[in-house]
Each structure stands twice: as structure tokens, then as C-alpha cells.
């Protein structure tokens, strides 16, 4: 039987600005091989599948797949799926929270606003500093050749997915940076990481506080349009160094302009030190998926 299939843009104030996501809101009966085949076919960064929860207190259960493998946690699939779950009437927030059951446990998502202005933020798994590199580290210099560094040293952050977070001198330097993809892939493989997440403080007068770029070297080599998990690991590194921009532990990151997008991610560090990564989601496509075995 055909199943409902939706496609949306996440961390986007308009269609076409954010990171695309495919969602099947009723995935009961699908096995892992079928879900992986569907995700490979959609060729989207991730495709998610929604199931009834199995743990007490959870609003729903989610499985996430990239075209290559199942993903334990990622930010933009979490935010986008929560949007679909509410729109489809599968679950509603209680005291402003949804609870998502997944491979990393049951995580809360905070929901604020309504309609097109609604924002959803997932509390990311706690990230830790796995390694700190020196300024001028040859691995980083090879991955980002000829760019001027910022004040903080590069760090390998582990928040479920591992990223090298690297500060550059200013926004213009970040936006003009051209990675050496072979070196990014070598660094990713050697450190079991996704690649390099470069950032810089925004120029004066911008609507965002940071500009960021995600150079993925694990598997396919590409620049990610918007990554909630990578931004959450960066927020943890900024909090670790007491250099969080914005006010009250809240700031906005701009991502994706260099690859034709214009994502806006809203980050928050709460009083307990937890990172909330979120933004808006836009519906783009709604239809049915007629797949063998479904």
C-alpha cells in the first residue's frame, strides 16, 4: 500500500533556503533494509521514518537514514520530523515539549510560536572535547589552505557525530574559503569525524551572530546546507571557552549561502549547559510513496 511521503526544508524561513528532508510519518512494518533503500533513492541528506513510541513518555519514535547508512542523531531531521508529527496530528507538545525516541535515547524538542513562525529546537546530546589542536596544525592547514585563523584553537568535538570546529579570522575569510577536499577526507578518516565545521563571527549589522560552513569529508564529499548537530557541537565548544555570541546564551548562525541556500539556525545554551539547536521548517511537497514491500 502507498504510504504518505512529505518533503520539507528545515532551518528555513522560506522554501529553498534550508536543508531538505524526506519524512514517512507512518513507517510501521518497514524493515531497516527497506528504509535504507528508500533513503538511497530519495538522495536527500536524510530521510526519516516515524513509528509509535516504545518508551514511556516519548511522543513518537524516529529512525534516520542518509543515503549510505542509518544515522543515530542529527539536528535537521529531528526538527523537520517534529514539524511533520505536529502537522499530521500524530503528537502535540505538552508544556511546550515533544519527546523524540531515537537511537540516542529520548530527547526533548521545545516548540515555540505557531504557523509559519513556529520554531522547533532539539536538545542535542552532550558534546565533549575529544582533542584540541594547536594553531597551525598541519592537518587543519591542509584542509583549509591559506586561510587566516581566528582566536580559538581548532578542536575535535564529539556530540554523537564528531566534527573539527575551526574558527577563521572573519566572515569574509570564511565565505571565501576553499577547502582541499582530499585533505578534509583524510582528516575525517584519520579522526573518525565528519570533517571540518568552520565558523567566524559575523560582520557588524548582520541579522546573524555567526557564519558557519560544514565541509563533509566522510563518505561523499560535500558542503552541508545546514547542520543542527554540527552547530550544537560548536555551541558546546563556544560555551567551553566562554565565548558564546549573542545575548543570554542565544544566538543565530547563518549557513549555506555558498552552496545556494540561506539557512538560519537558532542556538540556545540553557542554565544547565544543554544545547538547543533549532529553527523553522517549511512544507514543500506532499504525496504518496509506492514502494515494493511497503
H or E segment and range at residue 201:
strand 195-201
**Can 46 be counted among the known catalytic residues?**
yes
Alpha-helical (H) ranges within 17-74 are 32-42
Does residue 195 contact residue 161 with C-beta atoms inside 8 Å? no
**133-141 long-range contacts, Cβ below 8 Å, gap at least 24?**
133/164, 139/183, 139/186, 139/187, 139/190, 140/164, 140/166, 140/187, 140/196
C-alpha distances (whole Å) from 114 to each of 96, 195, 281 are 11, 35, 11
* β-pair type (155-158, 250-255): unpaired
Set of cell numbers at residue 129? 572535547
**37-45 long-range contacts, Cβ below 8 Å, gap at least 24?**
37/291, 38/65, 38/289, 38/291, 39/65, 39/66, 39/67, 40/67, 40/68, 42/67, 43/67, 44/7, 44/20, 45/19, 45/20, 45/21, 45/76, 45/224, 45/225
Q: Which of 28, 46, 70, 171 is catalytic?
A: 46
Vertex 139 angle, CA 134 and 142, to 5°: 120
Distance CA 245, CA 282 (A): 27
Does residue 76 contact residue 10 with C-beta atoms inside 8 Å? yes
Q: Could you list the active site residues?
A: 46
Amino acid at each position: 500500500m502507498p504510504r504518505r511521503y512529505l518533503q520539507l526544508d528545515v532551518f528555513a524561513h522560506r522554501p529553498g533556503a534550508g536543508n531538505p528532508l524526506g519524512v514517512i510519518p507512518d513507517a510501521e512494518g518497514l524493515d531497516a533494509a527497506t528504509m535504507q533503500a528508500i533513503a538511497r533513492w530519495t538522495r536527500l541528506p536524510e530521510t526519516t521514518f516515524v513509528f509509535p513510541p516504545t518508551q514511556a513518555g516519548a511522543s513518537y519514535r524516529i529512525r534516520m537514514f542518509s543515503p549510505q547508512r542509518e544515522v543515530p542523531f542529527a539536528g535537521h531531521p529531528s526538527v523537520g520530523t517534529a514539524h511533520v508529527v505536529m502537522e499530521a496530528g500524530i503528537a502535540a507538545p505538552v508544556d511546550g515539549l515533544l519527546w523524540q525516541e531515537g537511537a540516542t535515547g529520548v530527547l526533548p524538542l521545545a516548540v515555540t510560536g505557531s504557523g509559519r513562525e513556529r520554531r522547533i529546537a532539539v536538545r542535542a546530546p552532550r558534546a565533549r572535547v575529544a582533542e584540541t589542536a594547536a594553531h597551525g596544525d598541519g592537518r587543519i592547514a591542509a584542509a583549509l589552505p591559506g586561510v587566516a585563523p581566528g582566536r580559538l584553537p581548532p578542536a575535535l568535538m564529539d556530540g554523537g557525530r564528531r566534527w573539527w570546529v575551526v574558527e577563521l579570522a572573519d566572515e569574509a575569510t570564511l565565505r571565501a574559503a576553499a577547502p582541499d577536499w582530499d585533505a578534509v577526507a583524510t582528516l575525517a578518516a584519520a579522526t573518525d569525524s565528519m570533517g571540518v565545521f568552520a565558523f567566524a563571527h559575523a560582520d557588524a549589522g548582520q541579522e546573524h551572530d555567526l557564519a558557519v560552513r560544514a565541509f563533509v569529508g566522510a563518505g561523499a564529499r560535500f558542503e552541508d546546507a545546514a547542520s543542527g548537530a554540527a552547530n550544537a557541537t560548536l555551541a558546546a565548544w563556544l560555551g567551553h571557552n566562554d565565548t558564546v555570541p549573542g545575548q543570554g546564551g542565544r544566538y543565530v548562525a547563518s549557513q549555506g549561502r555558498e552552496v545556494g541556500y540561506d539557512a538560519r539556525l537558532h542556538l540556545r545554551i540553557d542554565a544547565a549547559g544543554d544545547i538547543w539547536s533549532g529553527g523553522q521548517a517549511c512544507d514543500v511537497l506532499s504525496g504518496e510513496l509506492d514502494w515494493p514491500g511497503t
